A and B are shown apart, each in its own frame.
Chain A
Amino acid sequence: MTGYTFAYLDEQTKRMIRRALLKAVAIPGYQVPFSSREMPMPYGWGTGGVQVTAACLTPEDRLKVIDQGADDTTNAVSIRSFFRKVAGVATTEATAEATIIQTRHRIPETPLAEGQILVFQVPIPEPLRFLEPRETETRKMHALADYGLMHVRLYEDIARHGAITRAYAYPVQVEGRYVMDPSPIPKFDNPKLHRSPALMLFGAGREQRIYALPPYTEVRSLDFEDYPFEPTKAGHACALCGDDASYLDEVIVDDAGGRMFVCSDTDHCRSRRAAGRRGTMAAPFEDAAA
């Protein structure tokens, strides 16, 4: 593609984002304001993640892009082809082979390794936003580490429902200091944040915030002694690969509302099937047939 520099963003913009990233890494869980640019894709489609990825990419990288855990969802396809076009980088669907993984709403099932970077697309970076809409107020709460309001809200939930109802974007506390929104990953994925060997970067384009978790950072999901945090998933095994420990998508398969549950992580599911694992509704493995 002509007329645009490597990885689309001009160098000054990349420097600005890079400086914000370094401060974000230096202050884990703190949201660093950055002057997000207007990208050639809509706000809400991953403009923050795309800017972070663009600022981090080198020509040697292998990029994986997932949305809802899948490499083949339309938004993942679109972002992957954007970076192929503007940065000419190699892409992969294999989690273990990727050096940078941009994700929306999931952390891959395959454990990440040191040296990998996971870039999250974040819609609302402020974990306190639904308790207090004003940025001027939530900024003070973070400054004072005043998270009483959050605990009160979670406890009210328990009083009313007997459990914390938050199912995704479940707030975490980083190194005992900043309360952070892990982006709308299911709370099933929260434990993968804790002491992950990979570097995790979070980009919120519209809200102009970048934050980070360095490798091996202590990340605790907020809970109470008598109501400990519980990662949950559908109580089924994947109908294709038979995994009963991976996070599942729910698919409606007939007019009577019949369902099946399949791995949301398509690479994980594919590699299990390639290794001969079979679920109850599995077709013969397509790659083997080819």
Chain B
Amino acid sequence: MYVAVKGGERAIAAAHAWLAEERRGDPAVPELSPDQIREQLRLAVNRVMAEGSLYDPDLAALALKQARGDAVEAVFLIRAFRTTLPRLAASRPLDTAAMACDRRISATFKDAPGGQVLGPTFDYTHRLIDFALAAGLPVPPAPVAPPQAGPMPHITGFLDREGLIRPEPPSDAEPPDLTRAPLALPADRALRLQALARADEGFLLALAYSTQRGYGSTHAFVGELRIGRVPVAVEIPELGLAVEIGEVELTECETVNQFAGSKSEPPQFTRGYGLALGMNERRTIAMALVDRALCARELGEDVGRGPAQDEEFVLSHCDNIQASGFLEHIKLPHYVDFQSESEGLRARRAAALAGREAAE
């Protein structure tokens, strides 16, 4: 006698209750506030903002709390929220040359107007666990320098002036938006950059690294990496002017890459471009390398030397919400498909074994 399993709804409710308890952890340990996450786990918050494509540190912090620290789950929460938001206006293009930089380095020139500014970087820390942190001691204040007076122009501008780097003429064409139109291939560079800006950081890192090891090499130098705040302005048609509505923290990386030239173009440098919401150094450098690798076709370079050059491959697989959803869906019931497979396999095995016996 057999009675089929029932009560899916109750099981789901119980699982959610258990999940909430697990998320909270030991109630004897004080609960984390989103403020604490926003201030003290800022790089995690930044990753969620970048891949969630939404500049809202408080919401990203809350998403991280709800997701129990799982970045991809937190990005998912942000994305699902983002799609429901009305679009009230589009900002004017951000002027990253006007960035108030906390960090600005160039690997191509020893010095340049604006100078090299290390900023709050892990770069030269020795990776030794700081056991004193566990004690939660107060942090001594960092020394303060007077703010930079002069402008901090883009490094690639100097190469531009000399004609050494391939020009990227500005355009007023409305950029495509892959959250509003289905991905159509081939994609132009603006669409690729949008996809990369919200792509999974691990995927970008691995692809960028593969180009450095020869799978579609682009010989990149970091022309400039800058991190800081940029004002956001919105055009108000009724007023006929642009109004500054706030500022966002951005990371921008321009790489300078070799280009041997083509039939129509002389040898010159080219650039890879990376941009991310928040302080996001690793992903921005990786994005610039992958962006440049994906330009191979337009530049008439030898394509097919690495996965990073393969636009369809990269754009179809870079989104971690799509990837993790599809990966994990194989844990959903597949009884029906599995039954049809096993029935077929049993029949083929029986036929094969009978054939073998007959032959013996």
Query: In the complex, are there CB atoms of A and B closer than 8 Å?
Result: yes
Stretch at the interface among B32-40, B60-68, B228-236, B330-338: B330-338
B125 contacts A by Cβ under 8 Å: no
Contact A136 B312 (CB under 8 A): yes
**Whole-angstrom CA separation of A73 from B324 in the bound complex:** 22
CA distance A188 to B344 in the complex (A): 12
In the complex, what residues of B have CB within 8 A of residue A167's CB?
337, 340-341, 343-344
Bound-complex Cα distance A105 to B335 (A): 9
State whether the Cβ of A221 lies closer than 8 Å to any Cβ in chain B. no
Report yes or no: A163 in contact with B2, Cβ–Cβ below 8 A: no
Verify A33–B333 contact, CB threshold 8 A.
no
Residues of B contacting A81 in the complex (Cβ-Cβ under 8 angstroms): 9
* With A38-B83, A136-B312, A281-B2 as contacts: A187 and B329 at CB distance below 8 Å: no
**A123 contacts the other chain (Cβ, under 8 Å)?**
yes
Tell me whether A49 is interfacial, beta carbon within 8 Å.
no
Q: Looking at the assembled complex, report how far the CB atom of B82 sits from the nearest CB atom of chain A, in whole angstroms.
A: 7
A186 to B336, CA, bound (A): 7
**Residue of A47, A68, A282 touching B1 (CB-CB under 8 A):** A282
Chain B nearest CB: distance from A101 CB in Å?
A: 16
Bound complex: CA A40 to CA B325 (Å): 11
The verdict on B348 contacting chain A, using a C-beta distance below 8 Å, is yes
Inter-chain contact B12/A69, CB cutoff 8 Å: no
Q: Which residues of B contact A260 (CB under 8 A)?
A: 2
A148, CB-defined interface residue at 8 Å: no
Tell whether B124 is near chain A: CB-to-CB under 8 Å.
Answer: no
A149 is an interface residue with CB less than 8 A from chain B: no
- Residues of chain B contacted by A68 (CB below 8 angstroms): 333-336
B336 contact set on A, CB distance < 8 A: 68-69, 105-106, 168, 184-186, 247, 249, 264
A58 CB within 8 Å of chain B: no
Q: Which residues of B contact A161 (CB under 8 A)?
A: 348
A206 interfacial by beta-carbon distance below 8 Å:
yes
Q: Is the CB of B182 within 8 A of A250?
A: no
Interface contact B329-A123, CB-CB below 8 Å: yes
Report A-chain residues with C-beta under 8 Å of the C-beta of B326. Answer: 43-44, 123, 206
Contact: B337 with A206, CB < 8 Å? no
A95 within 8 A of partner (CB): no
Are B342 and A188 touching (Cβ within 8 A)?
no
Residues of chain A with a CB closer than 8 A to B186's CB: 136
Residue B80 lies at the interface, judged by CB distance under 8 Å to chain A: yes
**A147 interface residue per 8 A CB criterion:** no
Q: Give the chain B neighbours of A55 by CB distance below 8 A.
A: none
Given A136-B185, A168-B337, check contact A4 B332 (CB 8 Å): no
Question: Closest A-chain residue to B316, C-beta based?
Answer: A135
Contact flag A184-B337 (CB < 8 Å), given A33-B182, A35-B182, A165-B348: yes
A39 within 8 A of B: yes
Closest chain B CB from A23 CB (angstroms): 13
Asked whether B239 is an interface residue with its Cβ less than 8 Å from the other chain, the reply is no
Cβ of A232 and Cβ of B343 under 8 Å apart?
yes
**Interface pair B334/A38, CB less than 8 Å apart:** no
Q: Across the interface, do A208 and B183 meet the contact criterion of CB distance under 8 Å?
A: yes
Once the chains bind, are B335 and A168 in contact (CB under 8 Å)? no
* Complex contacts, B80 vs chain A, CB 8 Å: 38-40
B166 CB within 8 Å of chain A: no
Is B4 an interface position by the 8 A CB rule? yes
Q: Which of A76, A106, A135 contacts B185 (CB 8 A)?
A: A135
Q: Which of A49-96 contact B (CB under 8 A)?
A: 67-69, 72-78, 81
- Contact of A233 with B by CB under 8 A: yes
Cα of A165 to Cα of B341 in the assembled complex, Å: 8
CB distance from B62 to the nearest CB of A (A): 15
Report yes or no: B1 in contact with A281, Cβ–Cβ below 8 A.
yes
Complex Cα spacing A39 to B84, Å: 9
* CB of B328 within 8 Å of the partner chain: yes
Residues of A within 8 A of B348 (CB): 161-163, 165
B264 adjacent to chain A (CB < 8 Å): no
Q: Which residues of B contact A21 (CB under 8 A)?
A: none
Within 8 A of A (CB), among B127-166: none
Considering only residues 95-134 of chain A, those with a C-beta below 8 Å from chain B are: 104-106, 123, 134
Q: Which residues of A contact B (CB under 8 A)?
A: 4, 10, 13, 33-40, 42-45, 47, 67-69, 72-78, 81, 104-106, 123, 134-136, 161-163, 165, 167-169, 184-188, 206, 208, 232-234, 239-240, 247-251, 253, 260, 262, 264, 266, 281-283, 286
- The 22 listed contacts between A and B (C-beta, < 8 Å) are A4-B84, A10-B84, A33-B182, A35-B179, A35-B182, A38-B179, A39-B83, A42-B76, A42-B325, A45-B329, A68-B334, A72-B6, A72-B8, A73-B8, A74-B12, A77-B9, A136-B186, A184-B337, A188-B340, A208-B183, A233-B340, A253-B2
List 4 A-B pairs, minimum CB-CB distance, nearest first. Answer: A44-B329, A43-B325, A42-B325, A33-B182
